[in-house]
């Protein structure tokens, strides 16, 4: 039996080449507005848009709920987020786990990293409000139909 090296060489080249392995990964960003309140139970709702490097875009609604030692009311007007490990725009949809420590008065800011399986979302935002506490919960992104 004769074994050729060509198929093995092709497989090795694909595995060793990060540009080929990551060619399908998209650069996707979230732009959002969010309003929320907390008194032990925290709740926030908002809307946004996800835009990806392949020119796909979807409008989304956002909801976040959490339990923890937290008190406050706030809003984020020009929030941004960047996703990693996205291969299809629909990969960004779903519920992300979050853990957050925050403190703010008047103009408030936040930065957090959320995960959903292999997909991660780094959120940044500035807004106004008063908040103090520690929360753990979920951040859900759904397509607006």
132, 138, 68, 125: which is closest to 102 by C-alpha?
132
- Please give the structure tokens belonging to residue 121: 């979302």
Read off the pLDDT of residues 69-92 as tens digits, 9 standing for 90 and up: 667 787 888 889 999 999 999 999
**Is there a domain that residue 2 lies in?**
no
User: What pLDDT, on the 0 to 100 scale, is given for residue 13?
Assistant: 44
What is the residue range of 71's domain? 25-143
User: What pLDDT, on the 0 to 100 scale, is given for residue 140?
Assistant: 94
**Is there a domain that residue 47 lies in?**
yes
**Is there a domain that residue 6 lies in?**
no
**Is there a domain that residue 20 lies in?**
no
Confidence of residue 54 (pLDDT cuts 50, 70, 90): very high
**Is there a domain that residue 69 lies in?**
yes
Distance CA 77, CA 45 (A): 12
Distance CA 81, CA 27 (A): 11
User: What pLDDT, on the 0 to 100 scale, is given for residue 15?
Assistant: 45
**Is there a domain that residue 8 lies in?**
no
What's the whole-number average pLDDT of the chain? 77
Contact status, residue 121 vs residue 82, Cβ threshold 8 Å: yes
């Amino acid at each position: 039996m004769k074994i050729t090296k060509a198929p093995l060489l092709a497989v090795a080249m694909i595995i060793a080449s990060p540009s080929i392995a990551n060619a399908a990964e998209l650069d996707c960003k979230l732009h959002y507005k969010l309003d929320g309140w907390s008194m032990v139970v925290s709740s926030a709702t908002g809307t946004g848009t996800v835009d990806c490097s392949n020119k796909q875009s979807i409008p989304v609604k956002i909801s976040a709920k959490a339990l923890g030692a937290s008190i406050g009311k706030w809003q984020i007007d020009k929030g941004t987020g960047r996703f990693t490990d996205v291969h299809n725009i629909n990969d960004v949809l779903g519920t992300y786990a979050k853990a957050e420590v925050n403190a703010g008065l008047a103009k408030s800011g936040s930065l957090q990293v959320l995960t959903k399986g292999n997909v991660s979302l780094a959120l940044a935002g500035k807004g106004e409000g008063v908040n103090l506490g520690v929360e753990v919960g979920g951040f859900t992104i759904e397509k607006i139909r």
